[in-house]
Structure 1
Amino acid sequence: MNHIDIAKEIAHHHSQLQVGRPIHWDDTFNKQDEQYPEITQAVLRACRRLGFIEDDAQVIASAWESQMQRHASFDPLTWPHRSEDFGIRAFPRDDAFAPCPHHLGLYVVVPDAQWVDRLTQAGVGTVQLRFKSEDKQAITEQIKWAIKAVQGTSTLLFINDFWSLAIEHGAYGVHLGQEDMEEAPLEKIKSAGLRLGLSTHGYAEMLKADAHSPSYMALGAVFPTTLKRMKTAPQGLGRLGAYVQLMKGYPLVAIGGIDEQKIPAVLKTGVRSIAMVRAITESNQPEMVCKKLMAMMYQLR
């Protein structure tokens, strides 16, 4: 078979990873691919057909080459899923951030400290304060209030973005996006003993996050969401399952467009922590909804 026939076989067998409408096979060709062996060209074209962004396609092609070398043969049916094929180091790691529970359960992202207070009293296990403001005094007050709200409880509090204030006031952890990860002094956060969560949106970003050995990774967006403008398309359940299989050494949090009806399908991928925003904050009875969702997740785990 030539490489286009191999590419078609790969795409056919792994159609559960498709995101968006498949592009025409002619559009999967890239002149630069000609420098690679036939198999690598096939993998790259299959990945583009399946809707993977170019950075992810390159990562997958490299992992497939490693997998092929280990087995001394090429198998289009076996999607790369072993950590060593992606250059992911084994656990435990001496340079890792402080650990957090492997199962973070229901993980609610809230806009202010009053919400942290409410959900802590409702028994929610993990809360992230995502307070948006340019007023440093207001930010400081919100972080201090949120930290005080969880003191003496089992609720774990992560502060979104504001790592300096999180360190200063003794938060449990910090959550950063990919852009913030590149700018924040991660070693300072680590040496302060804070946990670190990192957002990821595909294979390339997972590997970038893994290089820092964070406490957990967020995987998304799983479904369409209007809460944040995303640079990548929704990943879907097929890809989420592949990510969970690859990054199983970490606590993993699924995020993006997840509501009560989608929880069973999300949990079937193997992920054990689910982040929710509007399903809670736009509810008329958020405490009751949280308790219902936590009970559901416990029964389905």
Structure 2
Amino acid sequence: MSNTVPLPPATEMQQAILQHHGAAFADFPAQPAPAPESDEPVYRAALAACSALGFIAQDASCLARAWAAQTRRLGFFDAAHWPDEPADFGLQPRPHAQPFAPCPQALGLYAVLPDAAWVGRMARAGVPTVQLRYKSDDSAAIAREVQAAVQAVQGTDALLFINDHWREAMAAGAYGAHLGQEDLDALTREELDELRASGLRLGVSTHGYAEMLRADAASPSYIAMGAVFPTTLKKMATVPQGVARLAAYARLMRGYPQVAIGGIGLEQFGQVRATAVGSIAVVRALVNAEQPEAAAGRLMHALRAGL
């Protein structure tokens, strides 16, 4: 490369990454490094370092490729700068060619709720964004509950997302749908085009770099990132991501509205808000509260105040 600074030895670059970032990710156990896909020295150094910092194989690979791209772009290796440039990760250039309909950049308090009655209750309490996460194998019951949730938010300003059941969301006229990574991956190209053409907003759950890149390929309306803290609500395939990772994810995905989710209660709002994520999703902090409306008020105040 012309106009570039000679690279240090790979072992020195690996150690420099660990020295600069080890404290931020100290809570994560080291992971086995995947087989390298390139002999590029920066890539190999970053792959080993990010694995040692606790990133699973697919995420360590994403980071290693991004660190190599960052080095090529800058013309020198910078161990101190954790990669956060979208182009270095291969994210789509903006504006996206086929984006989903937009939603507010800051969705505010995002209540994830088990049924339409809860949706209506929190919408009337002033919660700006609500999600129906209704679990059933009965297709007729699902359709009725989605329709009831749509009716429950009428007359309020709440934006209603439907978890998983995107066809029912389309039929009922919901504001948007939310899909997990596996559900997104399972959509055919035709189904994704149908969903986009319907005008529904789309939110996608992600649990690390590789999943964020896959979500970006669909150009969703917002990106959800988690689980930030331990949660008992569902079995997670990944460890809790923590605030340091969340902050790095937020910098990379800054072009999207972002929602932090997973084990977040009032006491964690300050540190989550400090990452610049524009929305915080809660479940137990509302549905397990003795006075849910009062709890919603406290959470909304904390989010607005940045407490």
TM-score by length of 2: 0.93
Question: Does the alignment pair 1:137 with 2:143?
Answer: no
1:72 partner letter: G
1:250-276 CA distance string (max 9 Å, x none): 000000110000000100011110000
Match 1:215 to one of 207, 217, 221: 221
1:166-191 CA distance string (max 9 Å, x none): 11111110000000001232211111
- C-alpha distance in 1 between matches for 2:79 and 2:134: 46
Question: What is the aligned partner in structure 2 of residue 233 from structure 1?
Answer: 239
Deviation at 1:8, TM superposition (A): 2.1
Equivalent residues in 2 for 1:65-80, closer than 5 Å: 65-80=68-83
- C-alpha distance in 2 between matches for 1:243 and 1:102: 16
Deviation at 1:84, TM superposition (A): 1.1
- C-alpha distance in 2 between matches for 1:291 and 1:134: 34
Match 1:41 to one of 20, 39, 44: 44
Deviation at 1:120, TM superposition (A): 1.0
2:166 partner letter: W
Compared CA separation, residues 21 and 151, structure 1 to 2 (3 A): closer
SS across alignment from 2:81 = coil
Question: What is the aligned partner in structure 1 of residue 3 from structure 2?
Answer: none
Deviation at 1:300, TM superposition (A): 1.5
- C-alpha distance in 2 between matches for 1:152 and 1:29: 53
Question: What is the aligned partner in structure 2 of residue 254 from structure 1?
Answer: 260
- C-alpha distance in 1 between matches for 2:145 and 2:32: 49
- C-alpha distance in 2 between matches for 1:245 and 1:197: 18
- C-alpha distance in 2 between matches for 1:236 and 1:272: 17
SS across alignment from 2:79 = coil
Deviation at 1:42, TM superposition (A): 1.0
- C-alpha distance in 2 between matches for 1:174 and 1:140: 14
- C-alpha distance in 2 between matches for 1:53 and 1:285: 40
Equivalent residues in 2 for 1:119-268, closer than 5 Å: 119-184=122-187, 185-268=191-274
Question: What is the aligned partner in structure 1 of residue 106 from structure 2?
Answer: 103
What's the Cα RMSD here? Answer: 1.6
- C-alpha distance in 2 between matches for 1:293 and 1:196: 24
- C-alpha distance in 2 between matches for 1:22 and 1:132: 34
Question: What is the aligned partner in structure 2 of residue 294 from structure 1?
Answer: 300
1:122-167 CA distance string (max 9 Å, x none): 0110000000011112111111110001123210000000111111
Q: How many residues align?
A: 297
Question: What is the aligned partner in structure 1 of residue 12 from structure 2?
Answer: 5
Question: Does the alignment pair 1:281 with 2:287?
Answer: yes
Question: What is the aligned partner in structure 2 of residue 112 from structure 1?
Answer: 115
Maintained 8 Å contact 1:220/1:235: yes
Question: What is the aligned partner in structure 1 of residue 4 from structure 2?
Answer: none
TM-score by length of 1: 0.94
- C-alpha distance in 2 between matches for 1:108 and 1:95: 28
- C-alpha distance in 1 between matches for 2:40 and 2:104: 43
Question: Does the alignment pair 1:90 with 2:130?
Answer: no
SS across alignment from 1:158 = strand
Deviation at 1:15, TM superposition (A): 2.1
1:83-122 CA distance string (max 9 Å, x none): 1111122333241000000000000100111100110110
SS across alignment from 2:214 = helix
Question: What is the aligned partner in structure 2 of residue 15 from structure 1?
Answer: 22
- C-alpha distance in 2 between matches for 1:111 and 1:29: 40
Compared CA separation, residues 12 and 121, structure 1 to 2 (3 A): same
Maintained 8 Å contact 1:19/1:233: no
- C-alpha distance in 1 between matches for 2:19 and 2:97: 41
Maintained 8 Å contact 1:19/1:52: no
Structure 1 stretch 82-91 or stretch 164-173: which is displaced more? 82-91
- C-alpha distance in 1 between matches for 2:47 and 2:94: 30
- C-alpha distance in 1 between matches for 2:260 and 2:217: 20
- Unmatched tracts of structure 1, length 5 or more: none
Maintained 8 Å contact 1:16/1:238: no
Deviation at 1:16, TM superposition (A): 4.6
